Amino acid sequence: MNQKRIGVLLSGCGVKDGTEIHEAVLTLLALDRAGAVSICMAPDKEKADVVDHVTDKTSHEKRNVLAESARIARGNISNLEQVDANLLDGLIIPGGFGAAKNLCNFATAGEKCVVDPNVATLLRTLHEQNKPIAALCIAPTVLASVFGKDLHPTLTVGNDPDTAAKIEKMGAKHQPVEPTQVVIDTENGFITTPCYMTAESINEIATGTEKAVTALLSLTRVEATV
């Protein structure tokens, strides 16, 4: 059986300054249950900030995005700069503030944000190859920044009005949905779901994530066992 190889783009470890761990783990679980192979990756760069998840205070210490992401991937992770898009069948970006701080700077720059060059290159290459991309939680802002002005994709962050307005200012269209629903832009090959932007339980996260994974796999070229 030819297994689908799906990239999972991480942005650190921990919701406040990195990848949202529940969303990442549920993504990996859904992919494994569907018979796909997860290829975890992250940028090799310093994190934008380090937040104490107990006190919610910013620390002065420095941490590396790749090293922190390796905690979620159990060490089986690739430097984003060295990832060959030709070897992937699709990509999923879990949420967490790391997506808005380390993959781009949406957290501080809003609709004027800039995406990490290696992230933007991977996304554009995958899209040119007609390979689907899924983004969870706040991560659709990365897609809006890269593709908004050219493709005007339809994306969702649930019903968060402030983030939705900024996504539309970047040129994308925002579609409000419930926490467990997904938006599938079949024309552009993008799948988005709100996750913790609006969800109130890990059960809702699991439902939305599984739907996103199922949709992504259905848009890839090689059949997997679901």
Q: Which residues are catalytic?
A: 137
Given a contact cutoff of 8 angstroms between Cβ atoms, the answer to whether 132 and 224 are in contact is no
50-51 and 58-59 strand pairing? antiparallel
Q: How many CB atoms lie within 10 A of CB 5?
A: 16
Can you tell me the distance from the alpha carbon of 182 to that of 78, in angstroms, rounded to the nearest whole number?
28
**The tokens of 223 are what?**
């059949």
- Which token pair is 155? 């994306």
What are the residues facing 174 on neighbouring strands? 155
- DSSP notation for 129-185: TT--EEEETTTHHHHHHHHHHHH--EE--TT-HHHHHHHHHTT-EE----TT--EEE
Amino acid 213 reads: V
CB within 8 A of 21, min separation 6: which ones? 13, 14, 15, 72, 96
42 three-class SS:
strand
- Give the whole-angstrom CA distance, residue 36 versus residue 80: 20
Q: Note whether 107 and 119 are within 8 A (CB).
A: no
